[in-house]
Amino acid sequence: MKNINQIDIKKIKSPGGSLSFFEKGKEIDFNIKRIYYIYEFSKENRRGFHAHKDLKQVMWCPYGAIEIDFTDGKDITKYILDDPTKILVVNQGYWREFVSLKENSILCVGASDIYSEDDYIRDYDKYLEWVEESYNDEDTV
């Protein structure tokens, strides 16, 4: 999708383990003000079901495998984070749903702002209205 980028980041291997990293000005173009993570992620239950009006995020899966389905109200694109060297840089405006493909997967998220419920759209019909308005105002999505 236009404003979602899956990037393969570097892996520095040593006998003691592997290390990966990403940085502002390289893979991401925003400051991270909040980090949260979803863990004890059950395979049965989908999560997400919301969009963010302004929040930008970077997502990575340090353990396990997670499928993330994004839509802009028209097309659906599936991404799979199944390796710690894959990150997903997600601009604002996409409806998303997550599913864990492996028991105990962990999803980490770096977000451009602190938590604000006002930034969420949690109703899909309202999301479609918001997309319509946004397209009329500017090319938000």
Which residues contact ligand TYD by CB under 6 A?
Answer: 34, 36, 38, 47-48, 50, 115
Least distance CB 94 / ligand TYD (angstroms): 13
The smaller minimum CB distance to ligand TYD, of residues 21 and 49, is found at 49
Residue 83's alpha-carbon distances to 2, 91, 95, in angstroms, are 23, 21, 23
Q: What share of the chain is helix, strand, coil (3-state, %, to 5)?
A: 10, 45, 40
The smaller minimum CB distance to ligand TYD, of residues 51 and 131, is found at 51
Supply the residues annotated as catalytic.
Answer: 50
Least distance CB 131 / ligand TYD (angstroms): 19
Nearest to 53 by CA among 133, 108, 109, 107: 133
The helix/strand/coil state of 4 is strand
Least distance CB 111 / ligand TYD (angstroms): 7
Residue 129's alpha-carbon distances to 39, 114, 118, 136, in angstroms, are 32, 25, 16, 11
The smaller minimum CB distance to ligand TYD, of residues 84 and 95, is found at 95
Distance from C-alpha of 29 to C-alpha of 136, rounded to nearest angstrom: 26
Distance from C-alpha of 127 to C-alpha of 103, rounded to nearest angstrom: 30
Least distance CB 112 / ligand TYD (angstroms): 12
The smaller minimum CB distance to ligand TYD, of residues 10 and 78, is found at 78
